[in-house]
Amino acid sequence: MINETELLSFMRETAYKPMTYQELEEHFQISDAVDFKEFLKLLTRLEQEGQIILTRTQRYGVPERMDLVRGRLQAHAKGFAFLIPENKEHPDVYIHANDLKSAMNGDIVFVRVSSKSVGGGKLEGEVVRIITRAVTQIVGVFQHHESYGFVVPDDKRINRDIFVPSEAFQGAVDGDKVVVRIVEYPEGRAAAQGEVVEILGHKDDPGVDILSIIRKHQLPEAFPEEVMEEAIAAPDVIDEAEIAKQGRRDLRDKVIVTIDGEDAKDLDDAVHIEKMPNGNIRLGVHIADVGYYVREKSELDQEAYNRGCSVYLVDRVIPMLPHRLSNGICSLNPKVDRFTLSCEMEFDEDMKVVNHDVFTSVIRTKERMTYTNVRKILQNEDPEVTERYSDLVDMFKQMEELALRLRGNRMRRGAVDFDFVESKVIVDENGKAVDIVKRERSIAEQIIEEFMLAANETVAEHFHWLKVPFIYRIHEDPDQEKLINFMAFAANFGYKVKGGKGDKVHPRALQKLLEDIQGTKEQTVLSTMMLRSMKQAKYDAESTGHFGLAAEFYTHFTSPIRRYPDLVIHRVIREVIESNGVLSQKRQEYLASRMGDIAQQSSERERVAVEAERDTEQLKKAEFMLDKVGEEFTGMISSVTSFGMFIELDNTVEGLIRLSAMTDDYYHFHEQHMALVGERTSKIYRIGDEVKIRVARVNMDDHTIDFEMVDMKPHRREGGFEGSYGRSGGYVGGRPGGKSGKAGAKAGKAAAKAGKSGKAGKYGKAERGSKPGDSGKGGKAVPGGNGGKFSKARPEGKSGKPGKGGAIRVDGVDISTAEVKGRADVNGGAVSSKRGKRSGAGRAGRSAEPALPTVTFGFGSGKGGYASGPATLSRGGNSPAGGSGGGGGRRKKTSPSGIFIGGGASNVAEGATTPARKKRKGGKGKGDGNGATPKE
């Protein structure tokens, strides 16, 4: 009987050409009916798994021989996507929205590469087949339309609404947050069809917001019964007989303490320090032996694998393990016996580890210390606290000295230390945000951080040389092209990174830059852009080093209660110790076969956790500012872009001042210097500048905040702020390749009359005495306002020359008005560098409304010229791109988001009418007036 390995090997041979099942049957000489039936089952299974392909001519072959690339789809809110190939050496593949077929974010697909850039760097392709669906359920707001409904997804990467027939409402009413299961996936312009499986409550009800995010990311909540049964079976205490049986090293006489936050309940690490007779220092790091209670292949283990890590949301924790374990027998609570895995390190005068030992142990912690109390002791802030822990004061001072020396040693070798300000949102009993406080990174946090880093490195190197299967935490070297771009960006601010010009940059050079910019206006933007030029740290079965830490070996050993990779290597460590350092060949092979899969699963679950944590933080920050609309604050410009400025307040809340709201002048974006320069006043806004702002509005659907300048007249108009840019100088972004909004509705008919725009809002003649940005309907635009003199619009829609020239000086560089115009159009519109015709869409990325900034990694794996972090200054996952203005009417049979519902997957009840698309105030079509879709 032919097996899977033989079949795949045969198909991968160079001489193989795709065969039908009859030809394969003949080749393998299958004559027995039972064998033939099993052979057909094998073909079917391999095809379903995506290991082989069945062509349209009913022939079988392997995908790699058919120029197909297998990978995971990473979709964007704009509709396009990237394929992240399973083959790490293969570059990422860009996929246009029209080439996605019905694939959605996270799907495992086959893609055929259709075009390559010069040199073969950037690839474009189309989805050929969907192997595994990642999205089966969607969370969104239910919209009731009599005999049918739609669910508008919360996840903006799913940019099509879900059609729900009346029989699948399950009692949902308009405005409910629901979970809908996809019954039929979208095809062409037809919407996906689903059925409501859970009603979370009305979107404005308390608690529904966080619950929606939990469902959106498919985070588990309650543990299954069989998992809880195993957790309940775990003991509450450790008896002496068990300690003697284990043969662990007894450290209960050592002065060992835990140092954690005030509200921490899962205490998984403890430390002690002592001076040795030879003058060296011994540091002990003791980690809860969770693997002793969570056995391999148990129900607890499988659940922990599926969860990957604990998720820390604003108002709750979704734990990896049941509280019975994480807060009980596995938590290193004070003055009780606990099983641990210990790593003891001996440091010499130069902070080098001259001796180390990794072993199983039993400990009894003396005190449960908090970061606050340790800080108070070391900084003499509270005599009462110092007196209470007087017997530990000397030990804490020794710890402080060792931690600072370890940190100094790490910095000298080139570790990159980003000092971003973190914040914590405080919520009341109803989950409502009541305050935002900055998180301190005091000496107490630094002590634990340095000790854990030292233990992780020591354990990683120890087991690397033992050559046992292991999971490492790796951080690959940055992509050279992106690093060179960052160095050029830093040079604009007068900073030079040594080791550039194509040579490999050592992390020490980047850390030197971070030290140089400490306390400067540029610190935030340069730190952020440096972070984005780097790749994302991840788990891997191979140790390839950690660039950011400048460490050759690194792993995660210190948090087995909340991270699955730590739990896995704990079991490996104990197994190696108990077998005297040698694993059987069979065991070695089994562990090696599992480590790659565990590393990948853990990396993916970590990314989901980070996204969920970020979503809840953005949500609650927006909620916190909701009752502060109209209030004034002082903030700092944290980012300058072509569509506006991001302002960070002292409480870390960030909001956007749109260019359309800057009414005292027309501002040009100078990308090289990251500045907005006023055309008439020469006023300059740069990163780091302090500005006074007013909270203009808070969008709780997108969790975004808009600010406006206090010293500028608010730019109000009928229908509120949302609307067309038609009255803001005529800068209207239409759909890419399509028509513009009101101001440019008659694009192509250039008007020579004063005040009328040409294509997409060309400059007209300024009407004296008018306010900046005032215009009539139908494309009339008065871009100059008082003092803003423009010549009469030329035929064919070409803009006239500015009445006054001159130069503006930024960072000692003279920038002419013409140069600025050639780079970016006023108020974020797009204009060609040759001052030629303006497109309806505007330059991609110039008129979008992004989500609030959040430092995060975005699309791509960093290969093939595509970014592993957000390549633009848009943050929170939405990169600025040309939005949709919309001109003319839509088809009648569409959903509120413009999805065709006739035929295909949709199933409108007979006689039902589909509502016409509602018009938005201030403009037509789907755009919100600033060139962005509502889903951004």
Q: How confident is the model at residue 786 (pLDDT cuts 50, 70, 90)?
A: very low
pLDDT band (50, 70, 90) for residue 532: confident
How many angstroms separate the CA atoms of 242 and 258, rounded? Answer: 24
pLDDT of residue 554: 95
Q: Which residue's entry shows tokens 């903030």?
A: 635
Q: Give the mean model confidence (pLDDT) for residues 471-478.
A: 92
> Does residue 741 carry a pLDDT above 80?
no
Residue 522 · residue 688 · CB < 8 Å: yes
Q: Over 70: is that where the pLDDT of 818 sits? A: no
* 622 confidence band (pLDDT: 50, 70, 90): very high
What is the pLDDT averaged over residues 592-618?
Answer: 93
Q: What pLDDT digit, counting tens, does each position of 263-318 carry? A: 888 999 999 999 999 999 999 999 999 999 999 999 999 999 999 999 999 988 99
Supply the pLDDT for residue 503: 57
Query: Between 322 and 906, whose confidence is greater?
Result: 322
CB distance 652 to 421 below 8 Å: yes
What residue has token string 């080749």?
Answer: 27
Q: What is the DSSP string of 526-577?
A: HHHHHHHHSPPPEEESS---BTTTTBSS----S-TTTBHHHHHHHHHHHHHH
Whether residue 343 has pLDDT greater than 90 = yes
pLDDT > 60? residue 411:
yes
Going by C-alpha positions, the residue among 152, 148, 185, 196 that lies closest to residue 926 is 152
* Closest-CA residue to 926 (of 895, 902, 905, 903): 895
Expressed in angstroms, the distance from the first to the final Cα of the chain is: 55
**pLDDT value at residue 804:** 43
What DSSP assignment string belongs to 319-331? Answer: -SS-HHIIIIITS
Are 267 and 287 contacting, i.e. CB atoms less than 8 angstroms apart?
Answer: no
Taking only the tens place, the pLDDT of each residue in 151-166 is: 999 888 887 889 999 8
pLDDT at 240: 86
- pLDDT for 499: 65
Whole-number Å distance between alpha carbons of 458 and 359:
13
Burial (CB count within 10 angstroms: exposed 0-12, middle 13-18, buried 19+), residue 593? exposed
Predicted pLDDT at 930: 36
CA 486 to chain centre: 20
pLDDT of residue 887: 40
Q: What does the DSSP assignment read for 117-172?
A: -TTS-SEEEEEEEEEE----EEEEEEEEETTEEEEEESSTT--S-EEEEGGG-TT-
Confidence check: pLDDT of 837 > 70: no
pLDDT digit string, tens, across residues 475-501: 988 888 788 888 888 888 888 887 655
Which pLDDT belongs to residue 246?
84
pLDDT at res. 8: 82
Least confident of 168-172, 250-254, 321-325, 841-845: 841-845
Using the 8-state DSSP alphabet, how is residue 607 labeled?
Answer: H
Question: What does the angle CA 389 – CA 394 – CA 400 come to, to the nearest 5 degrees?
Answer: 105
pLDDT of residue 118: 62
Q: Identify the weakest region by mean pLDDT among 1-5, 233-237, 303-307.
A: 1-5
Mean pLDDT of the region 568-582:
91
User: What is the mean predicted confidence (pLDDT) over 677-696?
Assistant: 90
Neighbours of 549 (CB within 10 A): 21
Name, in order, each residue with C-beta under 8 angstroms of 467's C-beta and a sequence gap of 6 or more.
Answer: none
Q: Residue 257 — very low, low, confident or very high, per pLDDT cuts 50/70/90?
A: very high
725, 930 Cβ separation under 8 angstroms: yes
> If pLDDT is split at 50, 70 and 90, which confidence band does 39 have?
confident
What is residue 272's predicted lDDT score, i.e. its pLDDT? 95
- What is the average pLDDT across 171-184? 91
Share of the chain above pLDDT 70, in %: 75
Could you give the CA distance from residue 248 to residue 576 in angstroms, rounded to a whole number? Answer: 14
Average pLDDT score over the chain: 77
Give whole-number Cα distances, 579 to 574, 576, 742, in Å.
9, 5, 76
Is the whole model's pTM more than 0.75, yes or no? Answer: no
Rounded mean pLDDT, 867-873 = 39
User: Which residue's entry shows tokens 């100094």?
Assistant: 408
C-alpha to C-alpha distance for 45 and 62, rounded to whole angstroms: 13
pLDDT for 658 beyond 90 = yes
Q: What share of the chain is helix, strand, coil (3-state, %, to 5)?
A: 30, 25, 50
Average pLDDT over residues 871-889: 39
Quote the CA–CA distance of 293 and 300 in Å, as a whole number: 9
Can you give the pLDDT at residue 388? 92
Q: What pLDDT score was predicted for residue 922?
A: 41
Does residue 206 or residue 851 have the better pLDDT?
206
In this structure, the number of other CB atoms found within 10 A of the CB of residue 404 comes to: 14
Q: Is it the case that residue 638 has pLDDT exceeding 80?
A: yes
- In Å, the largest CA–CA distance within the chain is 97
* Better-predicted residue by pLDDT, 820 or 449: 449
pLDDT tens-digit readout, 743-760: 333 333 333 333 333 333
Bridge partners (DSSP) of residue 692 are: 634
Which residues are 563's β-sheet partners? 309
